[in-house]
C-alpha cells in the first residue's frame, strides 16, 4: 500500500507511451502508480505518480522498485529493434518476474500480441522473446493476465491515422493481395478499460481482445477513402511484393510499416474476439477517423 492507504501499481513502460497515456488516468482512480521507464513525460507530473528512471533491460535490483507494490502491469516492448535488444529486454523482465515472486506481488499483467504465423513465432525475435516471457509468467505461480489486443487505434496511433494521412496525400494507396484478410481494430481507450478491470480482478489467463467491427482489409481502406472524401484508387501488389515493399522502406529507415507487420496483417490471424464486459459500447472506427480530419472551412 502507498502512504495514502491506496494499493500501488508498478507500471513498467510507464504512462507516456501509446497505451500508457490512456491507462495512467484510469489506474489513478484506484491505485497509486510507480512508473518505470527511460524518458520523463509531462503526463506523469501529477499526484499519485512516482516516476523511477530506469531501463528494464539493464536494471539488476528490482527490490526497491517493487516495495509496497501489489500489482505489476508491463507495457514495455519494442516495435522494432536489433535482435539482441529483444533478448536483453526479455532478460530484464525475467529479473522483474523473479523479484515479483519473491516480493509476493498479488497480480502481474502483461501486454502481449495476437498469434502470428508459425514461422514468425519461431524466428522473429520480436515474438520469440515476448512469447518466452509470456510462458514464464504463465508458469510462475503468480496470479496473472496476459492481454493480447489486436491492432489498436486512438490518439497518436501509428496505423489508422497514418493510413488516413496517406490516403489524403497520395494518389494511390498500396493494396496487398486481394485485401480479403480480416481486421477488427480495438480502441486503445477500450483496451485501457480492460486492463484497469483486469488489474483489480483475480481472473487468471490469456485475454485476446478485438474491436466490435470486423472488416476485410479492403473494406477498411475503402472506408478511409470515403472518410477522406475520395474515390478509392489502389496500387495492387501480390503478398510477396507487399512484404518486399515494406522491407525496402524499412531498409531506408522508415518506420511506416515493417515487413513483419505486413506478413502478419495478411495472415488473417489478427482478428480477435470482441472485448466485451467492460461496461458501455466499444468505440467504432469511423467516428475516430472523422475526428482526425481538419475542421471544415
Ligand X SMILES: NC(=O)c1ccc[n+]([C@@H]2O[C@H](COP(=O)([O-])OP(=O)(O)OC[C@H]3O[C@@H](n4cnc5c(N)ncnc54)[C@H](OP(=O)(O)O)[C@@H]3O)[C@@H](O)[C@H]2O)c1
Interface with ligand X by CB under 6 A: which range of 60-68, 144-152, 175-183, 284-292? 144-152
C-beta closer to ligand X: residue 27 or 89: 89
Between CA 147 and CA 190, with CA 57 as vertex, the angle to 5 degrees is 25
The DSSP bridge partners found for residue 76 are none
- CA 16-103-93 angle, to 5 degrees, is 45
With a CB cutoff of 8 Å and minimum separation 6, the contacts of 219 are: none
Binding mask 94-133 for ligand X (x = CB under 6 A): -----------------x-x--------------------
Check residue 271 for interaction with ligand X (CB under 6 A): no
In the complex with ligand X, the residue whose CB is nearer, 55 or 68, is 55
Confirm if 284 and 212 have CB atoms less than 8 A apart. Answer: yes
Nearer to ligand X, 33 or 113 (CB): 113
Residue 285 parent element (H or E):
helix 285-291
20 is a site residue for ligand X (CB under 6 A): yes
Indicate the residue among 172 and 269 with the shorter CB distance to ligand X.
269
Q: Which is nearer to ligand X, 167 or 188 (CB)?
A: 188
What is the C-alpha to C-alpha distance for residues 226 and 210, in angstroms, rounded to an integer? 23
Q: Report the residue from 9, 11, 16, 116 that binds ligand X according to the rule CB under 6 A.
A: 16
Which residue lies nearer to ligand X by CB, 32 or 261? Answer: 261
Contact status: 174 vs ligand X (CB under 6 A) = no
Pick the binder of ligand X from 66, 152, 223, 243 (CB under 6 A): 152
- CA-nearest of 120, 99, 114 to 191 is 114
Q: How far apart are CA 71 and CA 275, in angstroms?
A: 22
Report helix, strand or coil for 105: coil
Closest separation in Å from C-beta 296 to ligand X: 30
Which of 10, 11, 56, 189 is the binder for ligand X (CB under 6 A)?
A: 56
Q: Is 13 in the site for ligand X (CB under 6 A)?
A: yes
CA distance linking residue 217 with residue 270, whole number of Å = 11
Q: Are 181 and 151 in contact (CB under 8 A)?
A: no
* Binding stretches for ligand X (CB under 6 A): 13-14, 16-20, 37-39, 55-57, 75-77, 89, 111, 113, 149, 151-152
Amino acid at each position: 500500500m502507498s502512504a495514502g492507504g491506496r494499493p500501488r501499481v508498478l507500471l513498467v513502460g510507464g504512462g507516456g507511451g501509446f497505451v500508457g497515456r490512456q491507462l495512467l488516468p484510469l489506474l489513478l482512480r484506484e491505485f497509486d502508480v510507480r512508473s518505470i521507464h527511460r524518458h520523463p513525460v509531462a503526463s506523469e507530473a501529477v499526484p499519485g505518480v512516482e516516476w523511477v528512471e530506469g531501463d528494464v533491460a539493464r536494471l539488476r535490483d528490482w527490490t526497491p522498485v517493487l516495495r509496497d507494490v501489489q500489482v505489476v502491469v508491463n507495457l514495455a516492448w519494442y516495435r522494432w529493434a536489433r535482435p539482441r535488444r529483444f533478448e536483453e529486454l526479455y532478460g530484464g523482465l525475467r529479473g522483474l518476474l523473479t523479484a515479483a515472486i519473491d516480493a509476493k506481488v498479488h497480480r502481474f499483467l502483461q501486454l502481449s500480441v495476437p498469434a502470428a504465423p508459425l514461422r514468425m513465432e519461431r524466428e522473429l525475435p520480436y515474438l520469440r522473446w515476448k512469447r518466452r516471457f509470456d510462458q514464464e509468467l504463465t508458469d510462475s505461480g503468480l496470479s496473472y493476465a496476459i492481454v493480447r489486443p489486436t491492432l489498436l487505434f486512438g490518439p497518436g496511433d501509428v496505423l489508422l491515422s497514418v493510413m488516413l494521412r496517406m490516403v489524403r496525400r497520395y494518389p494511390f494507396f498500396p493494396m496487398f493481395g486481394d485485401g480479403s484478410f480480416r481486421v477488427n481494430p480495438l480502441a486503445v481507450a477500450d483496451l485501457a478499460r480492460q486492463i484497469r478491470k483486469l488489474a483489480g480482478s483475480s481472473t487468471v489467463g490469456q485475454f485476446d481482445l478485438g474491436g466490435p467491427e470486423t472488416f476485410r482489409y479492403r473494406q477498411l481502406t475503402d472506408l478511409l477513402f470515403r472518410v477522406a472524401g475520395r474515390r478509392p484508387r489502389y496500387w495492387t501488389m501480390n503478398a510477396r511484393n507487399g512484404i518486399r515493399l515494406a522491407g525496402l522502406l524499412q531498409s531506408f529507415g522508415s518506420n511506416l510499416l515493417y515487413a513483419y507487420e505486413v506478413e502478419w496483417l495478411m495472415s488473417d490471424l489478427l482478428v480477435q474476439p470482441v472485448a466485451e464486459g467492460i461496461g458501455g459500447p466499444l468505440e467504432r472506427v469511423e467516428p475516430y477517423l472523422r475526428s482526425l480530419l481538419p475542421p471544415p472551412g
